Amino acid sequence: MSLKPSSFLTSSVSAISGTVSNLNNERLEYVNPEKPTHDHSSVSYQRFFISQFNLGDRAIEAKFSTPMVVSNGDAITVSGYQKGNGFQVLAYANQTQQVSKHENWIVLGFGALFFLAVALGLLNSELVADGALVPKLFLIGFVGVAFYMGYRALLIREAISLLKG
């Protein structure tokens, strides 16, 4: 098992290599609360696939929008950050099955730009200029979401670069 730390924005993004043991896969589904009760289509569901396993003595948890391609005994490298008692995976490379996956950091980056553009548009509105409280709260919210999405995109990008380096 090896550990490579990174100094990206003083975060604790690192990569861990090892052999998978005690694999447990789950699928979480959240129903859209605005969906009509008689509609049974899967379009209104959000699915998250959670894989929990051990790499050596480290507890690993991966949450992705698609199932993780991993089996017990596979040699893999995961990159991510420490979260609580486990390690949260942002990207992984399975050397045994020759598969490498990560969430889409480009979409997160575009989402951050979109929320920042909405915040800039709101900043130029007359309601904010007049000093109304609610538009200022929306402005702060949009800027906060934009920064979070941008930061998350950069974290995923850093995790991907750790797997290649």
User: Among 101, 121, 147, where does a domain finish?
Assistant: 101
On whether both 46 and 81 belong to a single domain, the answer is: yes
Please tell me the predicted confidence (pLDDT) of residue 113.
94
On whether both 71 and 120 belong to a single domain, the answer is: no
pLDDT at 11 over 80: no
The pLDDT > 90 percentage for the chain reads 28
Averaged pLDDT for residues 77-104: 88
pLDDT at 7 over 60: no
On whether both 58 and 93 belong to a single domain, the answer is: yes
Mean per-residue pLDDT over the chain, rounded: 82
User: Among 73, 101, 129, where does a domain finish?
Assistant: 101
Structural domain containing residue 158: 104-165
Please tell me the predicted confidence (pLDDT) of residue 30.
65
How do residues 14-47 score in pLDDT, each as one tens digit? Answer: 899 999 998 888 887 666 666 566 666 655 566 7
Please tell me the predicted confidence (pLDDT) of residue 130.
78
pLDDT at 164 over 60: yes
pLDDT at 83 over 60: yes
On whether both 130 and 156 belong to a single domain, the answer is: yes
Please tell me the predicted confidence (pLDDT) of residue 65.
83
Please tell me the predicted confidence (pLDDT) of residue 8.
47
Please tell me the predicted confidence (pLDDT) of residue 12.
74
On whether both 94 and 13 belong to a single domain, the answer is: yes
Q: Please state the domain count of the chain.
A: 2
Residue 94 or residue 11, greater confidence: 94
HEC readout, the chain: CEEEECCHHHCCCEEEEEEEEEEEEEEEEEECCCCCCCCCCHHHEEEEEEEEEEECCEEEEEEECCCCCCCCCCEEEEEEEEECCEEEEEEEEECCCCEEEECCHHHHHHHHHHHHHHHHHHHCCHHHHCCCHHHHHHHHHHHHHHHHHHHHHHHHHHHHHHHHC
pLDDT at 10 over 50: no
On whether both 87 and 108 belong to a single domain, the answer is: no
Averaged pLDDT for residues 8-19: 75
Please tell me the predicted confidence (pLDDT) of residue 46.
66
On whether both 42 and 81 belong to a single domain, the answer is: yes
On whether both 95 and 48 belong to a single domain, the answer is: yes
pTM, 2 dp = 0.76
On whether both 19 and 97 belong to a single domain, the answer is: yes
